[in-house]
Structures are given as structure tokens and as C-alpha cells.
Structure 1
């Protein structure tokens, strides 16, 4: 009988192992990806901060006396809407007790190009006007504040807080506009029948400021008499 030849398998079993160079390449790509993700995030954050703080010290040039006139007009308008008839001379004798009619200024701050540091802006100032009346009864304060609240809304101001405190707590009205750069606040204390108001204008550069000056806004500004229809 002819011999039968048994076929021999030529298939080699797989061992399941891969080339070492292939594994190292994959590992290298993975590490690069892990390093790249935080780096991109940091760059995006820096770019966002720089964009958010762009022009943060790009203030107009306004003489302190002109800014004082502007901020006083804000207070005068509110005073008229409240319906007050008394006149208030410039100055204050006892803060929180007596009448007040004063101007003040403050330095302007910037957080830097990356928003990572707070520092003052050379030559820039922020002008404010504060006023107060004593002996203001509820019959005058309550209706006046409600009227002022509606008037400011109609005039485009954003009311950030308004509270009617009843007979025991203070009544408050806070408004702002121009990205919070211009602000006003009003408070009536029923227990003392004391009313306060204040206005703050946006930051500006003093055209007369020189290097070495400590007070760019010239705090010697004096407001006019505050009164009805001034």
C-alpha cells in the first residue's frame, strides 16, 4: 500500500508579545499628550486674563474740577428728586450726625496686564461726593426713596440693592452703570432720622499730574451749596 503522508502544519502560534520599540513610541506619545494638555490650558488662561484686563487703565483725561462738577450734579439731581428743600453748606462738622456736603478722591487700581497683581495707576483718581441731612422724618424719606428708585431705573441706572427696612432697620438704595464705574448709594436711618447720599465717578487721569505727585486729584476741591433747584 502506498504510504500516506501526514500534512505538517506551517502555522506559527502567536505569542501575544509586541515589539519593544512600538511600546516605547506609544508611551512617548502619551506623555507628550499629558504634558501638552496642561500647557495649553495655562496658555488659554493667560490669554483670557490678558483679554479681560485689556484697557483696564485706559482712563479719559479729565481735570479734577470738571470731575467734581460732574459728581456734584449727580447728587444735586438725586437731592431734587427726593424733594428736600433745605440748603447744605460745604463741609461737615460731625460725620454721621450733622449735615454733610463734601468732595473726596481716591486712587485708582489696576490688576496688571495678566490680572495677577494689584497696583495703583500713576496720575489716575476717582472723585466722590458725599452728603447728609439730619431730622429727615419717615413721611419725607419713604416716599422720596421710592420716587428716587423709580427715577433712576427710568434713567438707565441698574439697581443693585433696594431695601425698605420698616421702622427699625435702615432703608437702602444702591445703583450703578457703565460697568460699575459710576455708582450712587442712599441710606435712611429711621431711628435717627438721618439720611445719607453719595456718588462716585469713573476713574480719570489728571492732566496736571506730574511724576512724584502724591495726590493726582487735588483734594482741595470744594463743592457748591447743596440745595433745591441749585
Structure 2
């Protein structure tokens, strides 16, 4: 950065005693303004280098382990609801039939101060979705209320809970670890249809290599969901 220098004349006028020359005042102001501009820039650079561009410090965990973690969260909720039916893997018609599926999603680096997200190569986020048809009100209402209380006691943050009545849906949304792990539950009384979903934190696939295609974990399939999966 160029130095700030006061202009000089061949025969400068003397300044009155006890005062400062205009050139020295301007020089002081110039240095002060430059300093005020430099400090925020330096602070910004330091903050960016400190990781505000987004966290990608994901654990190196195999997709099958994260898939099992997501499924077990759903299994625990399924048990708390008191369901006894066995739901086989797969889905015939989303929103109508039973469902028991795993899926893998992208993870993002947060971008520069969160302004531009980019996918992180080799990282993935596993999710598990399940659904039951023919769920009557007496089972859905009591089960959701019990699930709501238990998840709060277990340390989950309830981000939304609504008892919709006879016509509107009943919703329960929870999260923990700053939202990196989430669960959602919805019951539609008009259709007697219940859905649940779990999303676990992002992770790196230890076997992923540069140039690999596809998304880690997109080939995972869950076991059957039901009483047979309960721990003894």
C-alpha cells in the first residue's frame, strides 16, 4: 500500500505556535481512514480462513452404517407409536401404499459465507422413509402424543407440533445436533395415512475415490420394519 505523504513546497509557511499545519492534519486523517478500511478487510480474511465458508468436517463412515443409523431411528419411533404390522422394503405407490425405503442425498460446503453452496464430492446424507395405511384415529393420536413426550425427554428439540383435529393433518418435527439429525411424522386423518422420516448427519464414504460417479449410499436397502426388528 503506498505511503501517505504530505505535499511540500519550496518555501512553506510557518504554522502558528500550538497549531498543526493543514498538511499534517490531512495526513493524520488520511492514515486514520486507511486504517479504518484496512482493519475490516483483515478481519474478514481471518474469519474466512477460520471456516465461515462452511463446514465439511464430516466423519468417514461407510454408507451401510449411516443407513442402519437412519433405519434404527425410524424403528424406535415405530415401536413408540405402538405399531405391530411388518412393512417390507420398498413402496408401490408413494402417498398411498405402505413404504419402507432408504435414500441418499447430497451434502454441501456452505459456500462463501453461505452465499453459494457446492456439493462435496464423496459426502452423502442417508434418509429413511416409512408409511402405513389404514391407521385409525385412536392409534395415531395416542401414538403421536406419546412419541412427542418421549422425544422431548430424550433431548430432541421439537421444532413443530400440531394436533390438526379431524380434518387437518397432525404433524411432529424434531431435530438435534444443530439440525444435522431430523425426524418428521405426519398423520392424515381423512386418509388414515401415517408417514415417518429420518435424516442423519452427513458423512464421507471411506471408499470413495476421485472420479467415482453416483452418490454414496444410493444402493442401500432397509430390512423389514416391524415387531421382528425390536431389540430383546
TM range (shorter): 0.7 to 0.9
Structure 2 counterparts to residues 1-230 of structure 1, below 5 A: 22-53=21-52, 56-112=55-111, 115-230=114-229
- Per the normalisation by structure 2, the TM-score is 0.84
1:104-127 CA deviation, whole Å, 9 max, x = no partner? 001110024755532111111000
1:184-209 CA deviation, whole Å, 9 max, x = no partner? 11111112111110001111111111
Which ranges in structure 2 are unaligned for 5 or more consecutive residues?
1-14
**Partners of 1:50 and 1:117 in 2: how far apart?**
16
**Partners of 2:102 and 2:17 in 1: how far apart?**
80
**Partners of 1:138 and 1:38 in 2: how far apart?**
64
2:4 is aligned to none
Contact 1:62 1:204 in 2 (8 A): yes
SS of 2:209's equivalent? Answer: coil
Are residues 49 and 115 of structure 1, via their aligned partners in 2, closer, same or farther at CA, if it must alter by over 3 Å? farther
**Partners of 1:183 and 1:49 in 2: how far apart?**
28
- Per the normalisation by structure 1, the TM-score is 0.85
**Partners of 1:49 and 1:164 in 2: how far apart?**
44
SS of 1:24's equivalent? Answer: helix
**Partners of 1:130 and 1:223 in 2: how far apart?**
10
Query: CA RMSD of the aligned region, Å?
Result: 2.3
Which ranges in structure 1 are unaligned for 5 or more consecutive residues?
1-15
**Partners of 2:210 and 2:24 in 1: how far apart?**
60
